Amino acid sequence: MIIAVKNLWKEYGDNVVLENINLTVKEHEFVTIVGASGCGKTTFLRMLLGEETPTRGSFMLDGKPLPDEPGPDRGIVFQRYSVFPHLTVLENVMLGLEFAASPFLGKLFGTARKQAQSKAEAILNEVGLYEVRNHYASQLSGGMQQRLSIAQSVIREPRILLLDEPFGALDPGITDDMHKLILRLWDEHKMTIFMITHDIKEGFELGTRLLVFDKVRRDAQAQSAYGATITYDLPLKSVDRNVAKEVAEQTRRTEAFIQSAQLVASH
């Protein structure tokens, strides 16, 4: 059991974001997370990162409480901005190795550098960025930047890889290739993946397990009084299309509810 969450609540003052989350995740699962915006998906991911701590309940990694800051065992790919614009593609990928091996300068020289470089080049080959390895990251297209960000994380061989709507800003044509890439890397490196997505279809197609975050209780007078919880936890080999439709419909309804509640609150 790599992740074990028990009776977890997250509140900001009176605002309940997540309530009563229970979840265990085994090694090498590919967990996709869907849900309306404002249903605590990102808060959950930030807790996995170590950016947020639970208000109540426990969040265990390998049986120990999750560290309260980000670390190399949990890689992340955000929707945008997670590559370093001032470094070349190759330098971006080598950075993780340099941090690990050179505490004072954060930079490798000589043979150590050569070794890190060939390791980085191998991964760049894998994600199809070898040709542009000497370009600055800021010169790459959105899709290429996401590939780079994935390569950057994978080289540190994190046990858990977190993906926060990684393909949300990309053209639909590119997304297919990205899906193939992430599935291949997931299989090769035996990572456990948590991926947040807005695209319910993508969630059903990619994962081995799908979580739906949704609000069960709604109070139009006090929108923040109840938090979201996991309403569906589906193993994804045996799911039929009707369930996908049902989930899409409920997510849409919650989204509409949150929007109208916000509208009421702002008047």
Partner 1 sequence: MRRLINQLPGKGGAFGLGVLPFLLLFLVYVLASDARLAENANDKLLPALNTIADSIHTYAFEEDKRSGNILLWTDTWASLKRLGMGLGLGATLGLLFGVAVGVVPYVRAALQPFIAALSMIPPLAMLPILFVVFGLDELSKVVLIVFGVAPVIMRDLALRVGEIPREQIIKAQTLGASTWQLVLRVVLPQMWPRLIDSVRLSLGSAWLFLIAAEAIAATEGLGYRIFLVRRYMAMDIILPYVAWITLIAFAMDYLLRLLSQRLYPWMQRSE
> Rule CB under 8 A: which residues touch partner 1?
49, 51, 69-72, 74-76, 78, 80-87, 95-96, 98-100, 103-107, 136-139, 149, 152-153, 156, 158
DSSP class of residue 214 equals: E
Residue 55's nearest CA partner among 4, 2, 19, 3 is: 19
Tokens representing 17 are 């974001």
Query: Hey, how many other C-beta atoms are within 10 angstroms of the C-beta on 245?
Result: 11
Smallest gap from residue 72 Cβ to partner 1 (A) = 4
Cα angle: 144, vertex 50, 194; to 5 degrees? 50
Backbone φ and ψ for 252, nearest 5 degrees, come out as: -60, -40
Distance of CA 193 to the CA centre of its chain: 7
Name which of 78 and 232 has its Cβ closer to partner 1.
78
As measured in angstroms, the least distance from the Cβ of 103 to partner 1 is 7
Nearer to partner 1, 105 or 263 (CB): 105
CB of 89 to partner 1, least distance (A): 12
C-beta of 185 vs 210, nearer to partner 1: 185
Minimum CB–partner distance for residue 97 and partner 1 (Å): 9
Q: What is the DSSP letter of 240?
A: -
Which residue lies nearer to partner 1 by CB, 86 or 267? 86
Nearer to partner 1, 54 or 75 (CB): 75
- The number of beta carbons lying within 10 Å of the beta carbon of residue 184 is 12
Contact present, 144 and 129 (Cβ < 8 Å): yes
* Residue 159 or 218 with smaller CB distance to partner 1: 159
Shortest separation between residue 154's beta carbon and partner 1, angstroms: 11
How near is the Cβ of 114 to partner 1 at its closest, in Å?
19
CA 43 from centre of chain: 11
Half-sphere exposure of 57 (CA within 13 A, CB side): 17
